[in-house]
Structure 1
Amino acid sequence: MAESTEPVRGLPEVEMREGVLPDGTRMVIAVKRGMPQDEVDLLALKLWQEVPES
């Protein structure tokens, strides 16, 4: 996966990044600029685990 970043307007220390879940699903989340990709993926997993099931 190519690392792509997009700054968040008005928050220069935050960027939008893709996190990849174990099943290959991707989610875009706002993270601290420069965060290593493995930490982005871990944060995405934690957020996904907190979503209540319907």
Structure 2
Amino acid sequence: MDRKRLVIIDGYSLLYRAFFATRYLSTADGKPTNALYGFTQMLFNLLENMRPDAIV
């Protein structure tokens, strides 16, 4: 019987880490977007590497 893989994500922690780990990016009017970009990259990497059956 195959075991299911569940991933629990602490979104606040990941977003905070992404903000400081990613170079500064911003929109044309100066709003920072580096945290969103870093968070998305980290999340996609996690999904690609772990291939979970469910995410919380």
Q: Same fold (TM over 0.5)?
A: no
Q: Which has the higher contact order (CA 8 A, sep 6+)?
A: 2
Query: TM-score, normalized by length of structure 2?
Result: 0.35
Query: TM-score, normalized by length of structure 1?
Result: 0.36
Q: Which has the higher helix share?
A: 2
Q: Which has the higher strand share?
A: 1
Structure number with bigger Rg: 2
